Every structure is written in structure tokens, then in C-alpha cells.
């Protein structure tokens, strides 16, 4: 609720507040006519006012007459930087002439009327949302709306004295019909006048006046009237107490004007050619009903670029973007350099590409926009942006050569708090005729990076190599994984199989068997039995599947005579590193247990939790999957999920945070959980997905691997040593990652 006045003594750019404190004039806060575009919230696009030739009937505010870029009521054009509408709002000959001395700012009266007439729903939405926000804020700061009205009337009584001075100077400011009822005897106003103006009962007015006086905002004058309390220093307490409200109101008003200007521009653009009608037709009851139930429509599907004839020096456009961490990864991938900060904050190749790309985006979309061509970029780089920083790229027309058809634009990229990142020039060739371009969805990019698996391999490589038995590695695919793991210091391999076939596979792959132990076995089943025997004797700490079938190796592991059974049921765990997920994800069971019951699921779950802890997750979050989030006796998976959560409460499952039943979307998306009204510590942030059966687990894991770009690793837990089962279609990288997981599990005592 800023109530400000201007007088001869305040024409330097500030105004005298009725509360006895100076504040900055609203137009001084927006020297370049910056207005937010409400149709593109969060997109960083902004709207600027630019002067165009035309008859000028309005004058700039006192003290601001020489300010460049002040939009006169006549001859201005409102153009969103995103070219949403490209419509012009001009003062026409049949528009009402502005009153003498008034600084008519955007939107002009005829444009406002056009907005309400042509797009009533949108204009009414803008107005009522502004009014609601303003009243709520005032009520919070002042106490109640009656007190606010009383304070306003007393303040206006003081402002009217300044108006009398302006009237003597010939600078008339018209009064509303309510304020015209203010008494003329001085700056004070009595309770009777306040009650007449506001319609508040007189007794209520007296109580509000007493309350405001007790707060130190008002005082009663000797004549019995009321006025703003200024204190001995001339600075009122109300000014200090309401300074924050005043500042937020000025900002809210500026935003409201910008929103209404956008609606008005669209309404003018909707008119038939040559229609300059101003005025507001009363909306019918249907339109009034719609105004309270609908929100403004989406922005137009096309944008129009500037032509050579419409480009003038001073036009400016900018985009704001928040730099995500993966933006550096993308830029680094394009230029072929590591995504690492350059020494001393100097932009590297990735940062340079990002900054140039932001300027190219502004040129392609806004200035000159569709139809224009960028001929050259001359950019000086000063500093690199930081991940998470909001960066603003700005282009401004410096000169236009209409003979050559080339325009020069100054370019500037700044970070937060005005930190200069880059500056320079662009040479562009605008289109000679208007070009419209359809708005297209920005393409989503998925970078195939797997930093979580690389981090696991790095941790495992820092440990002592462990002895591992590889059963029947008689081809390149099954042999190269263990050999590369040995080269990285993860294992000391013991190769069990036909020595001739093993050596032939190594020669074919161009790999060396140096440092590898070889034990002969005549058949895959014999190789599996020998590998299990070495594990039972403690000579190896893990088993790796070679080219034999998984059931051949698992039969030896599960053998009641000489097998590796432990105290828990065996289960398989996939580790998936997805570019679109912020951490590694464990999925179980996808390979061993076909249709586990509740007891088996408890073992499967505990195996996965122990692995998560071994991988460095202090307290893994487990999402127990089902088709729905509610317990349904006809759906056994939901019953098991609920019981597992209760078992965790009783300590039967240790070391994890459980939630279930959860559908897959709820488990992986916190937004989906909020929509469904589910409060969960796990939703959107699980470390482990416990699947209801093998079929579901296998489909989840393989869909994430093939459709979401996940790199997968997997091991079998619950035996005396980890068992690494590898898919025949799995990559060498997956085999190495699985070995690294097993190494960390062994180090943790698993």
C-alpha cells in the first residue's frame, strides 16, 4: 500500500512519503521499462517497452523528463521479448486526450479497455489475482481491512495538500469520487468523514483510529482530526513498519501492469485490420461466470521475428537460465573435453560453448528472432558460470545498416549479483519480411554417463585384489571381463576350464594371461564344482560365471553336498546406473527366486540392504513395489509389502527405511506421490526396489537398461561368497562393475 506524493522539493527522482520517509519513485525503479511476461513463468523471458515514432501527448514524470526510454502514452509499442503477440498498442486520434500533466504509463486507457473487451477472462483474472494478493498482504501487515481503509483515508488527506500545490502550478491530478469527499480544511480528517467515505460504522472507525494511534502510526491533532504521526524527527513510525509492504506493493503493481499490458496487446492483435475501437462493452453473465472459473489460455503457438525495417538501436532482449550440472557434461561432450572446472575460474571449452549457446538462443528466438541469421560472434570470456547459477544473456541493438542489411548487437552474459561472464558483439542479418515460426518443444537430451558405477569401481580398486574363480571362461566375452578387472587391480583371477580353449580365446582377443592361475576342467559342470570347492576351502572369495549356463553354476552353489548355502535364501541384485536418476538403484530379485513368499522376501530384502550398506549407503531407502499403493487382500503383493514394513518396525529387517506397497510411478516420483496424497520418505528417492516376483523384477531391470540407458551390474547374495552371474548379452563393463560390487561386499564382511 505505497502512498507517495511528489512536490517541487522531490523532483530529483525520489518522492516524499506521507509517512515522513522518502522512497524511490516507481518509474525510477524500471528505467528501461522492464516488465515480466506472465505467460511464461519460470522461463526467464522478459518484455521490454521500446519507443516508436508517433504523436506524443503525454509527458514524463517530473524529474524524469530526460530519462531515456520513458514510454509516452502515444507512440509506444509493447513487444514481449518472446514475440508472443507482436501486437502494437498506439494512441489513436479518436482516443481520449490525456489529462494535462499526467504521466500516462503503460497500459494506456484505450489499451486497458481493449484488453477487457477483447479478452475479458484474462484481464479479469489478472486484475482479481492482483487485488486478492494485495489485500491479503495488507491484511497480514496492518491487521484487518477496516484498519487499512482508515489508514489510507488519513494518508490521502495529507496527499491532497500536495495536490493543491500542483493545482496552483497547473498540474492537475483528478480525484476519484470517494476521495473528492475529503475535507479541505487541512491535512487532518475526522472520524465522521472517514465513516462517510469508507462506509465503515463510525464507532468502528473510532476503534481503528485508537488502535492505529496506539501503534504509533496516527496521531490526533489539536483540531480533533487525525493525521499521520511523524514524530519529533519528522520520520513516522508507520513508514518504518510498512517499508517492506510498500516495496512489495510497488513490485506487485509493476507486475500487474506488465500482465495487463500483455493481455491488452493480445486483444489488440486479435482485432480485424483497421479496427481502432476503444471502449468496454459490458460482459454478459456467461462471461462473468467464466472469468471466475478459467485461467488464461496458453501462449500462442507461433512467434514473429524482427525485420530489417523494424530493428532500431536500443531494442533489447534477454533470457535467464539456471545452469544445471549436466549442462557442463553436454557441452564437454560436444567439444570433446573433460567436464571439469578450468584453473582460476577461466572458462574452459565447455563453459565457452554454454555462454555462446545462450546468446545464440536469444538471437534465434528473440532478437532478431525467426528469419534472422547470425553472421559472426566476437566474444570476450571473463569467468565461467557455476552449476546452479542463474545466468542472464542479453542482446541489444547497437546499429543497423539498412544498405548492407546487417545489424550489430552488443552481447553480455552475467551471472548472479551482476557477475560478468562474457561480453562482445554479434553481427546478424534480419529478415526483410516478417517470418513466423512455430514454437517447438525443447528436445530432451539423455547423456549416457554412469558416474555411480565408476565411483564403485574406484573404491574397489583402492582395496587389495581378491582371489576370484572364473568358471569355464572359454570365449572372449567371458574372459575379457575378468582380465580387465585384474588389470585394474580388482581381482587375482583363477581360470577354471580347458587350458587350450582358454589360451586360444586370449590369443584371439589379444589379451595376456600373465598373473592368472589356470586349473583344468573337462566340462562346464566340473568347472563349476571346482570353483565351488575353491570357495569352500577359502582359496577364492567370489565366483564369476564364464560361458557356462547360470543354472549349471548355481546347481553347484546350491548343492547340499559341498555347496555354498548360507543362513539366508540366495537372491540376485541388479545395480542400475541411469543417466536420468540421481544415484545408483538396486533392483531385486530379478534372476533367482521365481515367486517368493513373505519369508523369502524378507531374506531377499535383507540381502539387498546389506549390499547397499556395503556400497556406502548409510540407511538404504526401500520401495516395495506392487500395482497399487493400498493394501488389497486380493493382491498378495500388497499384503506382503505391508507386512514387511511392520517386520522392519519390529527389527526383523534391519538397517533400512521401508515403504510399501508403492506403484512404480509413486516409488520413483515424489511429484506422483504428492498428487496421490501419499507422504513417504522413500517416494522419489529409493535406493532399492523390491519387486513382487522374478518376472516383474526382470522386466523392470531390463526395461531400465534398454529404454532408460542404465548400465547394469549384478551379483547373487546369500551364499558363503558372492556369485557374479552375467547375462550372455551383458557388456565387459557390466562384468567389471559386478566384480567391483562383489569386492566391496567382501570387504564389508558379506
- The CATH number assigned to the domain holding 540 equals 3.40.718.10
Least confident of 16-30, 498-512, 531-545, 688-702: 16-30
If we measure between CA atoms, which residue out of 599, 592, 718, 611 comes closest to residue 652?
A: 599
**448 confidence band (pLDDT: 50, 70, 90):** low
Flag whether 726 is in a domain.
no
The dihedrals phi and psi of 590, each to the nearest 5 degrees, come to -120, 10
- Judge if 582 and 476 occupy the same domain: no
Q: What is the mean pLDDT of residues 154-173?
A: 58
pLDDT at residue 293, rounded to an integer = 36
Better pLDDT: 691 or 277? 691
Predicted pLDDT at 105: 35
- Report which DSSP code applies to 565: B
Please give the pLDDT value at position 268: 67
With 70 as the cut, is the pLDDT of residue 45 above it? no
**Closest listed residue to residue 407, CA positions, set 303, 304, 306:** 306
Residue 80 phi/psi, 5-degree rounding, is -60, 145
Q: List C-alpha distances in Å: 660 to 140, 635, 689, 692.
A: 42, 13, 10, 11
The mean pLDDT of the chain is 76
Is residue 212 assigned to a domain? yes
Taking the C-alpha atoms of residue 629 and residue 673, their distance in angstroms, rounded to an integer, is: 10
Query: Closest Cα partner for 92 from 279, 251, 255, 237?
Result: 279
Q: pLDDT of 336-349, one tens digit each? A: 555 555 544 556 66
> Edge-to-edge strand order for the sheet containing 316-322?
316-322, 390-401, 406-414, 420-429, 373-381
Q: Are residues 128 and 222 in the same domain?
A: yes
pLDDT at residue 63 tops 70: no
For residues 629 and 660, give the distance between their C-alpha atoms in angstroms, rounded to a whole number: 7
pLDDT at 283 over 50: no
Q: Which domain holds residue 75?
A: 1-303
CA gap 358, 372 in Å, rounded: 16
Per-residue CA distances from 451 to 447, 577, 578, 580, 611 (Å): 11, 8, 9, 12, 18
Whether 190 has a pLDDT exceeding 60, the answer reads: yes
Which range of 251-255, 263-267, 354-358, 639-643 scores highest in mean pLDDT? It is 639-643
In a shared domain, residues 496 and 397: no
User: If you average pLDDT over residues 384-411, what whole number do you get?
Assistant: 89
Rounded mean pLDDT of 661-673?
Answer: 95
34-36 and 406-414 beta bridge pairing = unpaired
237 and 364 in a single domain? The answer is no
Q: Is the peptide bond before 492 cis (omega within 30 degrees of 0)?
A: no
CB contact burial 268-291 (16+ within 10 A = b; e otherwise): beeeeeeeeebeeeebeeeeeeeb
Average of per-residue pLDDT across 559-581: 92
Q: With H, G, I as helix, E, B as strand and everything else as coil, classify residue 46.
A: strand
- 124 within 8 A of 174, measured Cβ to Cβ: no
- To which H or E segment does residue 575 belong? strand 571-577
Is the per-residue pLDDT at 673 higher than 90? yes
Answer whether 622's CB lies under 8 Å from 662's CB.
Answer: no
Task: Indicate if 550 and 421 belong to the same structural domain.
Answer: no
pLDDT band of residue 331 (cuts 50, 70, 90) is low
Residue 741 lies in a domain: no
**Per-residue pLDDT, 527:** 96
Q: Which of 609, 635, 633 is nearest to 623 (CA)?
A: 609
CATH number at residue 328: 3.10.129.10
Give a yes or no: residue 540 inside a domain.
Answer: yes
Question: What percent of the chain stands above pLDDT 90?
Answer: 39
Q: How far apart are CA 430 and CA 445, in angstroms?
A: 30
Determine phi and psi for 506, rounding to 5 degrees: -65, -45
What is residue 465's predicted lDDT score, i.e. its pLDDT?
96
Contact 658, 686 (CB under 8 A): no
Q: Cell 518376472 appears where?
A: 695
Q: Which of 303, 323, 339 lies at the terminal end of a domain, its last residue?
A: 303
| Count of domains for the chain | 4
Summarised one tens digit per residue, pLDDT across range 595-643 is: 999 999 999 999 999 999 999 999 999 999 999 999 999 999 999 999 9
Q: Which residues contact 532 (CB under 8 A, 6 or more apart)?
A: 543, 556, 557, 559, 562, 563, 564
Whether residue 266 has pLDDT greater than 70: yes
Q: Could you tell me if 157 and 181 lie in one domain?
A: yes
Residues 6+ apart with CB under 8 A from 14: 22, 23, 24, 25, 28
Measure the CA–CA gap between 261 and 240, rounded to whole angstroms: 32
Domain annotation covers residue 670: yes
Q: What is the mean pLDDT of residues 18-46?
A: 32
CA dist., res. 483 & res. 515, Å (int): 10
Distance of CA 496 to the CA centre of its chain: 54
Instruction: Give the integer Cα–Cα distance in Å for 496 and 472.
Output: 6
Name the pLDDT band for 289 (thresholds 50, 70, 90): very low
Phi, psi of 173 (to 5 degrees): -120, 120
Q: Does 453 lie in the same domain as 530?
A: yes
Query: What is the residue whose three cell numbers read 516524499?
Result: 16
Residue 668: its pLDDT value, please?
95
Greatest Cα-to-Cα distance within the chain, rounded to the nearest angstrom: 117
Query: Is the per-residue pLDDT at 568 higher than 50?
Result: yes
Q: For 182, which DSSP code?
A: S
H or E element: which one contains 673? helix 670-675
**Residues 575 and 559 reside in one and the same domain:** no
Distance (Å) of CA 16 to CA 2, 19, 22, 232: 11, 8, 5, 17
Question: For residue 301, what pLDDT is reported?
Answer: 66
Q: Which residue has the higher pLDDT, 189 or 460?
A: 460
Do 513 and 491 fall within a single domain? yes
Q: State the first-to-last Cα distance of the chain, in angstroms, to the nearest integer.
A: 67
The C-alpha cell at 225 is 482530526
Please tell me the chain's helix, strand, coil percentages from 3-state DSSP, rounded to the nearest 5: 40, 20, 40
Residue 479: helix, strand or coil by DSSP?
helix
Query: Beta partners for 683?
Result: none
Q: Kindly write down the DSSP assignment for every residue of 369-426, as one continuous string.
A: -TT-EEEEEEEEE-----TT-EEEEEEEEEEEETTTTEEEEEEEEE-GGG-EEEEEEE
The residue written with cell numbers 553354476 in the block is 553
Nearest partner of 561 among 583, 541, 533, 519, judged by Cα: 533
**Comparison of pLDDT for 463 and 52, the residue scoring more:** 463
Strands 517-520 and 491-497, by their bridges, are parallel
234 — pLDDT class (breaks 50, 70, 90): low
Mean pLDDT, residues 209-236 taken together: 81
- 382 cis-preceded (ω within 30 degrees of 0): no
Selection from 549, 120, 55 nearest residue 296 by Cα: 120
Between residues 449 and 312, the one the model is more confident about: 312
The per-residue pLDDT for 13 is 33
579 close to 450: Cβ distance less than 8 angstroms: yes
Alpha carbon 596 to its chain's center:
41
194-208, 483-497, 549-563 — which is least confidently predicted?
194-208
CB atoms within 10 A of CB 567: 7
DSSP assignment of 61-91, as one string?
Answer: PTT-TT-TT---SSSEEEEETT-SS------
What CA–CA distance (Å, rounded) separates 98 from 385?
A: 48
More confident residue, 579 or 403: 403
The total of other beta-carbon atoms located within 10 Å of residue 26's CB is 18
Residue 150 within any structural domain of the chain: yes
Cβ-Cβ contacts under 8 Å for 526 (sequence gap 6 or more): none
Q: What average pLDDT score do residues 642-656 get? A: 96
- Same domain, residue pair 257 and 348: no
In a domain, 729, yes or no: no
What is the model's pLDDT at position 451?
83
249, with CB counted inside 10 A (0-12, 13-18, 19+), is buried
Cell of 87: 501486437
CA–chain centroid gap for 656, Å, is 30
* Same domain? 346 vs 287: no
Cell 565447455 locates to 350
Which pLDDT belongs to residue 662? 97
Query: Which of 517, 534, 565 represents a domain boundary (last residue)?
Result: 565
pTM (two decimals) = 0.54
Contact 226, 187 (CB under 8 A): no
Number of DSSP helices (H) and strands (E) in the chain, helices first? 22, 26
Pick the closest to residue 575 from 749, 744, 326, 750 (CA basis): 744
530 found inside a domain: yes
Same-domain pairing of 425 and 465: no
Name which of 87-91, 581-585, 620-624 the model is least confident about.
Answer: 87-91
Amino acid at each position: 500500500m505505497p502512498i507517495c506524493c511528489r512536490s517541487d522539493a522531490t523532483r530529483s527522482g525520489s518522492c516524499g512519503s506521507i509517512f515522513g520517509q522518502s522512497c524511490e519513485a516507481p518509474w525510477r525503479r524500471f528505467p528501461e521499462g522492464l516488465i515480466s511476461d506472465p505467460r511464461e513463468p519460470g522461463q526467464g523471458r522478459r518484455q521490454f517497452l521500446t519507443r516508436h515514432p508517433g504523436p506524443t501527448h503525454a509527458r514524463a514524470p517530473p524529474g524524469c523528463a530526460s530519462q531515456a526510454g520513458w514510454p509516452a502514452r502515444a507512440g509506444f509499442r509493447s513487444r514481449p521479448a518472446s514475440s508472443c503477440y507482436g501486437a502494437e498498442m498506439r494512441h489513436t486520434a479518436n482516443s481520449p486526450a490525456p489529462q494535462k500533466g499526467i504521466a500516462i504509463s503503460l497500459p494506456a486507457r484505450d489499451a486497458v479497455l481493449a484488453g477487457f473487451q477483447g479478452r475479458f477472462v484474462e484481464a479479469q483474472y489478472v486484475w482479481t489475482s492482483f487485488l486478492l494478493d494485495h489485500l491479503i498482504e495488507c491484511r497480514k501487515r496492518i491487521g484487518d481491512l477496516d484498519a487499512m481503509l482508515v489508514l489510507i483515508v488519513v494518508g490521502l488527506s495529507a496527499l491532497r495538500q500536495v495536490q493543491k500545490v500542483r493545482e496552483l502550478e497547473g498540474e492537475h491530478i483528478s480525484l476519484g469520487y470517494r476521495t473528492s469527499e475529503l475535507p479541505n480544511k487541512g491535512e487532518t480528517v475526522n472520524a465522521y468523514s472517514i465513516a462517510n467515505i469508507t462506509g465503515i460504522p463510525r464507532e468502528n472507525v473510532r476503534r481503528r483510529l485508537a488502535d492505529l494511534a496506539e501503534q504509533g502510526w496516527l496521531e490526533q491533532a489539536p483540531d480533533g482530526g487525525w493525521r499521520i504521526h511523524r514524530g519529533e524527527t519528522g520520520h513516522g513510525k508507520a513508514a518504518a513498519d510498512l517499508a517492506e509492504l510498500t516495496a512489495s506493493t510497488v513490485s506487485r503493481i509493476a507486475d500487474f501492469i506488465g500482465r495487463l499490458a500483455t493481455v491488452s496487446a493480445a486483444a489488440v492483435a486479435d482485432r480485424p485490420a483497421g479496427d481502432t475501437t476503444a471502449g468496454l462493452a459490458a460482459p454478459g453473465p456467461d462471461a462473468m461466470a467464466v472469468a471466475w472459473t478459467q485461467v488464461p489460455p496458453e501462449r500462442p503457438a507461433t512467434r514473429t521475428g524482427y525485420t530489417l525495417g523494424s530493428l532500431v538501436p536500443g531494442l533489447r532482449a534477454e533470457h535467464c537460465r539456471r545452469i544445471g550440472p549436466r549442462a557442463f557434461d553436454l557441452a564437454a561432450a560436444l567439444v570433446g573435453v573433460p567436464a571439469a572446472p578450468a584453473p582460476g575460474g577461466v572458462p574452459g571449452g565447455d563453459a565457452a560453448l554454454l555462454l555462446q549457446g545462450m546468446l545464440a538462443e536469444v538471437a534465434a528466438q528473440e532478437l532478431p528472432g525467426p528469419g534472422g541469421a547470425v553472421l559472426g560472434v566476437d566474444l570476450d570470456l571473463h569467468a565461467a558460470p557455476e552449476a546452479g547459477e542463474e545466468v542472464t544473456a542479453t542482446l541489444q541493438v547497437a546499429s543497423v545498416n539498412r544498405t548492407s542489411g546487417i545489424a550489430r548487437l552488443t552481447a553480455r552474459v552475467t551471472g548472479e549479483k551482476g557477475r560478468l561472464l562474457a561480453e562482445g558483439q554479434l553481427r546478424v542479418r534480419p529478415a526483410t519480411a516478417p517470418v513466423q515460426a512455430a514454437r517447438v518443444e525443447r528436445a530432451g537430451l539423455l547423456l549416457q554417463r554412469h558416474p555411480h558405477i565408476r565411483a564403485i569401481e574406484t573404491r574397489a580398486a583402492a582395496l587389495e585384489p581378491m582371489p576370484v574363480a572364473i568358471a569355464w571362461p572359454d570365449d572372449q566375452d567371458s574372459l575379457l571381463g575378468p582380465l580387465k578387472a585384474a588389470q585394474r587391480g580388482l581381482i587375482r583371477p583363477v581360470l577354471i576350464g580347458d587350458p587350450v580353449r582358454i589360451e586360444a580365446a586370449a590369443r584371439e582377443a589379444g589379451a595376456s594371461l600373465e598373473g592368472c592361475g589356470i586349473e583344468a576342467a573337462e566340462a562346464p559342470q566340473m568347472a563349476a564344482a571346482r570353483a565351488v570347492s575353491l570357495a569352500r576351502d577359502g582359496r577364492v572369495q567370489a565366483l564369476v560365471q564364464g560361458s557356462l549356463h547360470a543354472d549349471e553354476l548355481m546347481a553347484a552353489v546350491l548343492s547340499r553336498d559341498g555347496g555354498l548355502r548360507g543362513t539366508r535364501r540366495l537372491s540376485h541384485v541388479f545395480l542400475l546406473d541411469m543417466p536420468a536418476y540421481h544415484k545408483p538403484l538396486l533392483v531385486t530379485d530379478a534372476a533367482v527366486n521365481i515367486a517368493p513368499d513373505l519369508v523369502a522376501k524378507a531374506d531377499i530384502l535383507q540381502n539387498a540392504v546389506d549390499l547397499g550398506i556395503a556400497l556406502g549407503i548409510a540407511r538404504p531407502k526401500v520401495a516395495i513395489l506392487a500395482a497399487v499403493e493400498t493394501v488389497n487382500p486380493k493382491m498378495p503383493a500388497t499384503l506382503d509389502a505391508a507386512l514387511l514394513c511392520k517386520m522392519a518396525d519390529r527389527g526383523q529387517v534391519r538397517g533400512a527405511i521401508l515403504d510399501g506397497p508403492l506403484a512404480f510411478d509413486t516409488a520413483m516420483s515424489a511429484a506422483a506421490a504428492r498428487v496421490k496424497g501419499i507422504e513417504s520418505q522413500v517416494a522419489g528417492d529409493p535406493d532399492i526396489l523390491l519387486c513382487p516376483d522374478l518376472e516383474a523384477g526382470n522386466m523392470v531391470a531390463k526395461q531400465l537398461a534398454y529404454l532408460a540407458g542404465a548400465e547394469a551390474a549384478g551379483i547373487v547374495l546369500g551364499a558363503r561368497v558372492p556369485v557374479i552371474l552375467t547375462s550372455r548379452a551383458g557388456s565387459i563393463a557390466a562384468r567389471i562393475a559386478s566384480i567391483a560390487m562383489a569386492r566391496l561386499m567382501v570387504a564389508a564382511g558379506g
